[in-house]
Amino acid sequence: MLKRLILFACLLASVYTASAAGNPQKTLVVGSEENFPPFSIGSTDDTAGGFAVELWKEVAREAGLKYTIKVRPWGELLQDFRDGKVDVLINIATSEERHRYTDFSVPHVTVNGAIFVRKGDSLISSEADLAGKSIIVFKSDLAHEYAVSKGRQKQLVLVDDAREGLRLLSSGKHDAMLLSKLAGMQTLRELGIDNVRALDIKAGYAQKFTFGVHKGDSDLLAALNEGLALAKAGGEYDRLYQKWFGVYETKEPTFIDILKYLLPFALFVACLAVYFFYRRSRERKESEAALRESKLRLDTILDNVGAHIFIKDTEYRYTYVNRKVCELFGLPEEMIVGKSDAAFFSPESVEEIIVSDRPVLEEGLTVKREEINLAAENEQPHSYWTVKLPLRDGSGAIYGLCGISTDITELKLLEDEVKKKSAQLEEELAEREIAQESLQEQTALLEEEVEERRRAEVALKKSEETVRHKLKAILEPEGDIGALELSDIIDCEMLQAMMEDFYRITGMLGAVVDVSGKVLVAVGWQDICTKFHRVHAEACKNCLESDTVLTEGVAAGTYKLYRCKNNMWDMVTPIEVGGKHLGNVFIGQFFYQDDPPDVEFFREQARRYGFDETQYLAALDRVPRFTREAVDAGMKFYAELTKVVSTLSFTSIKLSRMLAERIHLEEQLRQSQKMEAVGQLAGGVAHDFNNILQVITGYGNMLKMNENLGIKQQEWVDHILSSAERAAQLTKGLLAFSRKQLICLEPVDLNEVIENFKKFILRVIGEDIHLKTVTYGDRLIVHADVGQLEQVLINLATNARDSMHKGGILTIETGLQTVEAPFDHEFGRAESGRYAVVTVSDSGSGMDEETRKRIFEPFYTTKEVGKGTGLGMAIVYGIIKQHRGIINVYSEPGHGTTFRIYLPVQEAELGGVYPQAVQVQAPMGGSETILLAEDDAEVRKLVVSILCQYGYEVIQAVDGQDVVEKFADNREKVAMILMDMIMPKKNGKEAYEEISLLQPGVKVMYSSGYTADFIQNRGVSEEGIELVMKPVQPMELLRKIREMLDR
């Protein structure tokens, strides 16, 4: 029957078309999209295929249409269609935009849009996830129009066909592609792409594919609809659909298909209906009873809920109220139901209630948590939170509303109180913020003042350091004049006056410039220099280069003519003081009268530097012109002047050094006289004092032997004897210091002296200090008075104990050291030979540099009054001197103290235990670069002099942080590092660890004035490192450096 109806409709359409087509048919140009499977495949006119192409051929055959197929990319086809070059598009999806210029046939396929993503991509699971993502679309496709309508224009990547887009997505580019699901699945299958999938959701658009003709071409459209209907009626459409889409999409079933499955099910349902009708009639009575019981339970629940629950009809009348509403109105339910709010509330409240009810009853809206003030007649208003929702019948019509109201009067009062408290708290917080801002401003001002003071202190310290170095260069015999600046030596004001007088007489310019290019004296300088060349960066650079580079190699007393970088003539003669070149005297820039300037050159120079050309050339005209004879005469004068200045300056320095040396000798004389006075005092009183001590100690010992003394009296006697012993030791010490007491020198093994005296030292230092001794492997024979050496050890141990208030470690170590050449030291002079070395180190508080320098002065002490005489260290110094030895001290605040004693070894007493010293050849020097890190300026200066003397290049660092920074700046040229083990900011180990991160394996040698035990106590292990102990002889240091560099 259905098929007959379709055939009848097609017949009517055919008759209509036949009657309407009055003109002979033309050959239609039919557009088929390139590579859009399964709708269209093929890329040329001859290879066109696919569902839409085969369906068109069937429809054209039924309608009797002539045509040619044109295969092009979709965007091109759509443009050709709009330009009238194509008559029919056989696979165009309908859209609002396209309706403006296209009439569509009935759809031949409807497909949903899909979102294609890479497999494993969990970031996109819905269309909302496309926000901010890069999306591929088929240019001019419906998906393109849809994405633009959604405001995703900036996210889109346009391609010409589905193949190109899916290949891009598969390769990892972009995030997703919008495409019809059928076309996408067919293209993936055709390309063999297996890492792209379609999401199991529908995109926000569907594509109804039709045949499209130009707007208003109703005859052609009717013919196409007729052909399409005939294709469907004849079954050809179903065959083509199954061929191209059967794999991807289930075809919509026909009524006959549905009926084959529906009829058996309908019979089964009818049987069930009969059974359930019988059963339901039996259960209805039971349900009615259960319903009554359920209503009773619901009423009980609603009556006991803390809220007011009510139902109204569309006339605003109550149809149900619970017990809480009855209590509110003070009436039973039957007296409330059927009445409106006007019967219970004031007119103002009724109007407010109606305003709240109207949106629910008239518009079907739900009113939630709306605050309503209700008040019965002559009662105070109450506040309620109310929720009202519409009630609908089976057809969806509103028949009333249900309301739930909760009395929140008390809650509102509490909320008002909270708001009041919050306002007060906010006000307090605002006041605190103002106070805090004021405090921050004051703090910032204070920090600025502190920082300003810190900068001033740093500048002052730097200035003091500079002055100290310059004074040292001037006053000390070994001072380096090269460390001075020319302005430190010459009288610039005097030279300025002399050169100005010479300028007024001769017109000859002049300038004194130091080796850094700093102008100290300038006479008759021209505008071209002061207003142009030296105020422009590049031109000034030329001036400085002329002042420093072009003037090199001029001998003292001579002069040199040269053309400066700014193309003017100049002459120079050097200023040398003590053989050091410190500056130059220049005539100043000029021209020869017989050699006029190249004006064009200066014109170009003005343009290059941006000078005002007129003003610059005017300044050029003012540059002096001299004869060659005048220039030579002027420079001869300046050359003689520099010789006089140099001679006078060097003579002044020598006189200053002689005066400084005299002052130093006078200070030494006064010190010697003071020590002699102490010695004479000690020698004068020693005899009588010892006699008195003899009486005291004699009677004291006799008393101690008296058995009748009690325990308390025995303690008193012990105190007397102890004090007498201390007085006797003080006398002996004074005599030793003044060398008035004869000492008994005999060959002794220094190791045995240390071991035998350990128990006495332990009594001195107490239990909270750990004593550690490290003795040399072989005997160390020296000529010494054992008692005096023990006195030295006692004094050093006592000094160490007093510096370790909370306990610590006292280390006594012996060793052997060879002094290859005599050298002067701060506390004496060491002759060449071999020395036994006793090192006494503590982990105490250490001392500052001023205390260290005065440690051996008589009567100098840092202890409280009554805690010390100030003679302990002076006695130690005197005893060591009497033994023809020397003593050094190393210390820093917070790093403990190390005393090192050198006593001459008695070779004749060694009996061949020690091998004789081998004649050591002077080590080879080198040309490598060594990075030296030493915090003691004097030691650093000594080592630099030694290394430079033997050809090495030295880069200096003053602490652990500085050596890291200097290495970072010069890592390419540094061959090895020589650094102190204990330094400010970072010790040697910490500095080396940072340097190793910059360049692993760099060669490093450490030096230290502390013992190995002291170093280990500071957490720096000696194991696996190259370490030389101070003082080290220059030849030994050079040999060790050469050995390390040659490894």
Q: Each residue of 580-592: pLDDT tens digit?
A: 787 888 877 788 8
Q: In degrees rounded to 5, what are phi and psi of residue 958?
A: -105, -10
How many other CB atoms sit within 10 Å of the CB of residue 411?
12
Distance CA 696, CA 690 (A): 10
Paired with 1006 in beta bridges are 979, 1027
Q: How confident is the model at residue 631 (pLDDT cuts 50, 70, 90)?
A: confident
Asked if 370 and 408 touch (Cβ cutoff 8 Å), the reply is: no
Q: Smallest Cα–Cα separation from 486: which of 412, 406, 583?
A: 583
Distance CA 963, CA 1005 (A): 13
Distances (CA, A) of 749 to 284, 736, 831, 916: 126, 21, 22, 19
Say which amino acid occupies 503: Y
Q: What is the mean pLDDT of the chain?
A: 79
**What is the predicted pLDDT for the residue at 900?**
93
Distance CA 461, CA 455 (A): 10
pLDDT digits (tens, 9 = 90+) for 970-1003: 999 999 999 988 788 998 889 999 999 999 989 9
Mean pLDDT of 597-608: 87
**What is the predicted pLDDT for the residue at 680?**
62
DSSP state of 339: -
**What is the predicted pLDDT for the residue at 739?**
53
pLDDT digits (tens, 9 = 90+) for 447-480: 887 787 777 666 655 555 555 555 554 545 555 5
Q: Smallest Cα–Cα separation from 1018: which of 964, 980, 982?
A: 982
Note the helical H segments in 549-612: 599-609
**What is the predicted pLDDT for the residue at 312?**
92
**What is the predicted pLDDT for the residue at 418?**
85
Q: Which helix (H) or strand (E) holds 957?
A: strand 953-957
**What is the predicted pLDDT for the residue at 691?**
57
Q: How confident is the model at residue 19 (pLDDT cuts 50, 70, 90)?
A: very low
Mean pLDDT of 754-780: 87
**What is the predicted pLDDT for the residue at 527?**
76
**What is the predicted pLDDT for the residue at 577?**
77
pLDDT, greater one: 438 or 1012: 438
Say which amino acid occupies 210: T
Tokens found for residue 73? 């990319």
**What is the predicted pLDDT for the residue at 823?**
63
The Cβ-side half-sphere exposure at 977, using a 13 Å CA radius, reads 33
pLDDT at 219 over 70: yes
Q: For residue 471, what are the contacts with CB-CB under 8 A and spacing of at least 6?
A: none
Q: What is the pTM of this model?
A: 0.31
Q: How confident is the model at residue 318 (pLDDT cuts 50, 70, 90)?
A: very high
Q: For residue 292, what are the contacts with CB-CB under 8 A and spacing of at least 6?
A: none
Q: In degrees rounded to 5, what are phi and psi of residue 645?
A: -60, -45
Distance CA 74, CA 147 (A): 17
Q: For residue 534, what are the contacts with CB-CB under 8 A and spacing of at least 6?
A: 540, 543
Mean pLDDT of 1024-1039: 71
For residue 567, give the 3-state DSSP assignment: coil
**What is the predicted pLDDT for the residue at 648?**
67
**What is the predicted pLDDT for the residue at 11?**
36
**What is the predicted pLDDT for the residue at 979?**
92
Q: How confident is the model at residue 63 (pLDDT cuts 50, 70, 90)?
A: confident
Q: How confident is the model at residue 348 (pLDDT cuts 50, 70, 90)?
A: confident
Asked if 992 and 978 touch (Cβ cutoff 8 Å), the reply is: no
pLDDT, greater one: 803 or 872: 803
Asked if 526 and 545 touch (Cβ cutoff 8 Å), the reply is: no
Q: Smallest Cα–Cα separation from 994: which of 1023, 1020, 961?
A: 961
Q: How confident is the model at residue 380 (pLDDT cuts 50, 70, 90)?
A: low
Distances (CA, A) of 770 to 914, 1015, 1019: 32, 16, 17
Mean pLDDT of 636-661: 70
Asked if 842 and 804 touch (Cβ cutoff 8 Å), the reply is: yes
Distances (CA, A) of 31 to 43, 47, 49, 94, 143: 12, 13, 12, 16, 20
Lowest mean pLDDT among 25-39, 264-278, 767-781: 264-278
pLDDT at 121 over 60: yes
Distance CA 765, CA 804 (A): 10
How many other CB atoms sit within 10 Å of the CB of residue 40?
25
Asked if 966 and 993 touch (Cβ cutoff 8 Å), the reply is: no
Mean pLDDT of 793-813: 90
Select the highest-mean-pLDDT range: 521-525, 609-613, 930-934: 930-934
Distance CA 787, CA 784 (A): 9
**What is the predicted pLDDT for the residue at 82?**
92
Triad 345, 351, 353: Cα angle to 5°: 75
pLDDT at 387 over 50: yes
Q: What percent of the chain has pLDDT over 70?
A: 75
Distances (CA, A) of 617 to 331, 598, 614: 114, 11, 5
Pairing of strands 135-138, 176-180: parallel
Note the helical H segments in 118-254: 142-149, 162-170, 181-191, 218-233, 236-245
Q: Smallest Cα–Cα separation from 52: which of 65, 64, 34, 66?
A: 34
Triad 640, 645, 646: Cα angle to 5°: 95
**What is the predicted pLDDT for the residue at 677?**
67
Q: Which helix (H) or strand (E) holds 586?
A: strand 580-586
Lowest mean pLDDT among 103-112, 850-859, 1007-1016: 1007-1016
Distance CA 604, CA 613 (A): 9
The Cβ-side half-sphere exposure at 27, using a 13 Å CA radius, reads 4
Distance CA 102, CA 110 (A): 18
